Amino acid sequence: MFGGPLLSLKGKFNKDSTFVCFYDWHTGALITRVWDVPAREIIWNPTGDLMAVLSEDTIYILRYNKEAVHEAMENGTLAEEGLDEAFEVVTDVSDSARGGVWYNDTFIYSTRSQRVNYLVGDKVFTLAHLDEKMFILGYMESKKRVFLVDKERNVITFELWGQMLQFMSVVLQGNMEAAER
């Protein structure tokens, strides 16, 4: 079970087929079911329109179509099986993330191959190579730092400028007007 803007439950149909069901917190209505995604963790961005689904060897980034879901719920056209248009696949990355955190539209994560990466749009950038297994604690915008911890509870940080991430995001979206500001 995972939290976020939608209640998310993972399950198995049979030994080879996994799924995640997404439900509305208020009504309990099934929003959609995503098949063949062996979710280990689901991490939503702060605005609730993007989520990272972490599996053993892939990171899936999905965009939640709030407007389509809201419209279907208001019009009474949300089927018992949910709404296929509820999510759109933004990208998938062949990597094994230990965990991660969102900063706006950028997903920052640590990998099993001991790297700290960040994903802007569908582009992956490496921030640092690590000497040992570490886990993301978070990103502090005021300090412009990514915080990680190891199993002995030693904390290290890496500098990562939020303004640079915002710039990269708007450039990759093709919004040159916003990039020039």
Burial annotation 88-120 (CB, 10 A radius, 16+ → b, else e): eebeebebbbbbbbbbbbbbbbbbeeebbbbbb
Lowest average pLDDT, out of 124-138, 139-153, 167-181, goes to 167-181
CA distance 67 to 107: 23
* Phi-psi label, residue 23: left if phi above 0, alpha if psi -120 to 50, beta otherwise: beta
Lowest average pLDDT, out of 91-95, 131-135, 158-162, goes to 158-162
The strand pairing partners of 64, in sequence order, are 87
Q: Report the pLDDT value the prediction gives residue 173, as an integer from 0 to 100.
A: 59
Mean pLDDT of 105-120: 90
User: Tokens representing 45?
Assistant: 């961005």
**Cβ neighbours of residue 150 under 8 Å, at least 6 residues apart?**
132, 133, 134, 135, 156
Q: Report the pLDDT value the prediction gives residue 12, as an integer from 0 to 100.
A: 83
- pLDDT per position as a tens digit, 40-99: 999 999 999 999 999 999 999 999 999 999 999 988 888 888 898 999 999 999 999 999
User: Tokens representing 119?
Assistant: 């994903």
- pTM comes to 0.84
Q: Report the pLDDT value the prediction gives residue 57, as an integer from 0 to 100.
A: 92
Average pLDDT, the chain: 87
